[in-house]
Chain A
Amino acid sequence: MRTIFAYLDPGAGSILLQAVVAGVLGGLFAIKLFWKRIVGFFRGGQKEESDTESTPESKE
């Protein structure tokens, strides 16, 4: 039996959409990670997070 702990209504359409896109986006994500490893290998290791201007500030 499914149990959802959240008090929020996830929305039936939203649940189904996630199931549909998870496959595609999960696959793209795996490719992205794989690509980063290849590039990282050639560049001799680089930062895990991409730091663009709009990264939320983190404590440093």
Chain B
Amino acid sequence: MTDIVSQPASFRDPDGHIFSEGGVFYRQVNPSYRATYDRLVQSGLFAKLWAEGLLLEHEEVDPKPGSGAYRVLRPRQLATITYPYEWCFSQLKDAALLTLRIQRLSIAAGFSLKDASAYNIQMHEGRPVFIDTLSFEPLAEGKPWAAYRQFCQHFLAPLALMAKIDARLSLLFREFIDGVPLDLASRLLPTRTRLNLGLLLHVHLHAKAQRRFVNREKKVAAKPISKQGLLGILSNLESTVRGLEWKPSGTEWGDYYGITNYAAEARDDKVQAVDAFIAESGATSVWDLGANDGTYSRLAVARGLPTVAWDIDPVAVEKDYRRMRVEKTKLLVPALVDLTNPSPAIGWNLEERMSLLDRPRPDLALALALIHHLAIGNNVPLERCAAFFARIAPQLIIEWVPKEDSKVQELLQNREDVFADYATGNFEEAFGRYFSIMGCSGIRGSTRSLFRMVRR
């Protein structure tokens, strides 16, 4: 008897929720949603959104007797889960434009989105896709868009902060479970943003309106809003979002592959060695840790393996994502993470958004040009690095970067070398406690070497 597990984040909408059975995720549709669901199917809105690749597809399956469900949907299963605080600027921007587009199409079909949460979106087959199938309600004449506030907090405010101040402000998503509070965004944004009509209305004045009408006893009675008014607001939100641009400049890593210590020969040799090890591993999914611009992630992708390209640098992830969009790569998901402080579990009961290590994990992890940043740059002892990688995946391909390497010397140039243990022998011993070493490859023209390991 397989377990039926209710998905901990899925509890706010009384019309349905997600559950998993035998590792497969389903969405239950409750009787309260029956009329709307039938209307949605008949209207052809689902079909239209599927045809344009905007909504995650599903099929209907038989509900279990006694479950109380009206319908049970089996959506296409996602290869991986990432959250808005792990997305680069363009991923969030595309997610915002996707939401607005869906809302526009919904209105045309006589519906409206109940919510506009950034968590309604996941990366799937190379682009953001809307996954909250039950988020549609019949369009009520004259009523405002209930999700407008949420759209501004989940999309407009964070995008404006990232574009106008710093891309790292997306991390505010981790602290504020319902998007960035508008009063905070309004305070942080430079004054000149008040000259931008969209930001003035939807962030600055919106924040003031929120403050002014809090704790009022009477219910708010606003004058009716026409469909044209709703579309006008959407149109302005869209142009405001499109107008937000972030031009990444060179950070420490931005120009990484332009300025590495790799000569062309060594680089080709590394590519071949990594590719051979990936093939040998027989893995069916990969996480590339410290992927930078995804060069090596694409070796796994070329072999048909779904791959997540994790990196700490927003510039690198942004470049990787833009390239992926242009090349229409389906198996790659670029995402942001600081491995020394990875995404924790957050939300209600600390269960709504999974920690990095609770996500569906891959068969294989790549740790290329990474170990020295953890062990030297962050003072993490080699054995703890090994333990961490062992938690991530049963197999590992890791590049050993010895102390003589110029990049390590760079890390040590302004500090005392307290790393007596950072040596090849200790590396093999420390990792040997968690992994069996299946293969080792020197890299021609470099002091570095590549190891293929399998967890004990």
Contacts and interface: CB of A to CB of B under 8 A. Distances in A.
A54 B322 CA distance: 10
A35 interface: no
Interface in A8-29: 8-19, 21-29
Q: Which of A14, A29, A32 has the most CB of B within 10 A?
A: A14
B193 interface: no
A2 B205 CA distance: 25
Contacts of B115: 6-8
A57 B328 contact: yes
B126 A57 contact: yes
Contacts of A17: 201, 205-206, 209
B228 A16 contact: no
Contacts of B12: 7-8
A6 B352 CA distance: 20
A3 B152 CA distance: 23
B332 to A, nearest CB: 13
A42 B248 CA distance: 39
Contact of B210 (A14, A23, A54, A57): A14
B236 A10 contact: no
A56 B54 CA distance: 9
Interface in B92-147: 93-94, 97-98, 101, 114-115, 126-128, 137-138, 140, 143-147
Contacts of B138: 5
Interface in B24-82: 36, 51-54
A59 interface: yes
A56 B210 CA distance: 31
Interface in B158-201: 201
Interface string B319-331: 0000001001000
B54 A10 contact: no
Contact of A13 (B146, B211, B229, B233): B211
Given A7-B12, A30-B232, A58-B52, A18 B114 contact: no
B213 interface: yes
B90 interface: yes
A26 B232 contact: yes
Q: Give the interface size class of chain A.
A: 35 or more
B225 interface: yes
A22 to B, nearest CB: 3
Nearest to A14: B149
B205 A8 contact: no
A5 B147 CA distance: 11
Contact of B14 (A7, A13, A14, A23): A7
B223 interface: yes
A18 B145 CA distance: 8
Given A3-B140, A5-B140, A17-B209, A57 B127 contact: yes
B226 A26 contact: yes
B51 A59 contact: yes
A56 B98 CA distance: 6
A22 B228 CA distance: 8
B212 interface: yes
Contact of A12 (B93, B97, B220, B228): B220
B222 interface: yes
B230 interface: yes
B220 A16 contact: yes
Contact of A28 (B52, B94, B236): B236
Most buried by B among A3, A17, A59: A17
A19 to B, nearest CB: 4
B235 interface: yes
Contact of A26 (B146, B149, B210, B231): B231
B216 A12 contact: yes
A23 to B, nearest CB: 7
Given A17-B205, A52-B242, A56-B97, A25 B222 contact: no
Contacts of B214: 12-13
A5 B144 CA distance: 12
B232 A11 contact: no
B151 to A, nearest CB: 10
A54 B51 CA distance: 20
A49 B233 CA distance: 17
B416 interface: no
21 contacts: A3-B140, A6-B137, A10-B146, A10-B148, A13-B209, A13-B211, A14-B152, A16-B209, A17-B201, A19-B223, A22-B229, A23-B229, A25-B233, A26-B229, A28-B232, A29-B231, A32-B235, A56-B94, A56-B97, A56-B101, A59-B51
3 smallest CB-CB distances across A and B, nearest first, come from A22-B229, A29-B232, A13-B209
Given A13-B214, A19-B222, A26-B231, 7 more contacts: A7-B114, A8-B147, A16-B220, A17-B205, A22-B232, A25-B233, A25-B236
